[in-house]
Amino acid sequence: MNKTNNTHIIRLLVVEDNATLVLAGLRNFFRPDRDLIQVSESVSCVEETLNIADNFIFDVILLDLMMPDHSPGENLAFLKTHFPGKPVVVYTSIDSDIWRKRMFNLGVHGYVHKNDGRDVLKRAIMDAFEGRVTLQVTDNENQQELTTNIPVKGDPCLTLVEKELLSMLADGLRYKQIGMALNMNDVIIESTVKRLRKKFGTNSTTQLIHILTKQGLL
């Protein structure tokens, strides 16, 4: 790690398949002299981290949740195997209680949505560097909701799993990615979507998502 006037500069390794856009935003967010955070390097897949391991020193890994070729759990396991002790903060456009819980259980130090803003991300990075986990964890009652197929509180129309599935479809995720998140295969996902289309009287998934969004259910 660098030192400026005896102050630690936290160096970030960004693992992100859309690196150009994300790096531009992060470097606009953080300046080493002001924020004590330096966006130093990026790779487009976890395997590329091995190419810089010998000549690049970093303190915190910023990991995109959904990347090609591997599941989020596989990517995290790879990083934890090759860089034990290096904290990982997930930085994602997916706002999902299911993913928050799963990634927390797998050992990430933070889960930040890309719309949360600079201050939230900065706090998560600094906390991770200091060994603190800054992830909102539900109580035991709500944790049960994350793993069972019961209706969302205040919404008798959709279960939490159905809501997560449709929200991921609305975000543009593919069935494979959704299946990894919800432990479903393509057949179950397709049958669930068809059942919901029939339930809400729509002819397409796009129309279904539009109606549910308009009703405030997504």
CATH number at 154 reads 1.10.10
Residues 125, 145, single domain; the answer is no
For residue 146, the enclosing domain spans 140-214
Give tens-digit pLDDT for 174-195.
888 888 777 788 888 999 999 9
Residues 157, 74, single domain; the answer is no
Inside any domain, residue 148:
yes
> What distance, in Å, lies between the first and last C-alpha atoms of the chain?
43
Inside any domain, residue 205:
yes
pLDDT of 166? 87
pLDDT at residue 6 greater than cutoff 70: no
Provide the β-strand partners of residue 42: 14
Residues 23, 119, single domain; the answer is yes
Boundary residue ending a domain (129, 158, 183): 129
* CA-based nearest residue to 41, from 26, 33, 31: 26
Inside any domain, residue 50:
yes
pLDDT at residue 145 greater than cutoff 50: no
Structural domain total, the chain? 2
Residues 121, 145, single domain; the answer is no
Residues 170, 110, single domain; the answer is no
pLDDT at residue 150 greater than cutoff 50: no
Give tens-digit pLDDT for 8-41.
899 999 999 877 777 778 888 898 889 999 988 8
Give DSSP secondary structure letters for 175-216: HHHHHHHHT--HHHHHHHHHHHHHHTT-SSHHHHHHHHHHTT
Of the segments 154-158, 159-163, 189-193, which one has the largest average pLDDT value? 189-193
Residues 164, 189, single domain; the answer is yes
Residues 62, 165, single domain; the answer is no
pTM across the whole model:
0.66
Q: Which of 16-25, 130-139, 143-152 has the lowest mean pLDDT?
A: 143-152
Inside any domain, residue 134:
no
Residues 39, 105, single domain; the answer is yes
Residues 80, 123, single domain; the answer is yes
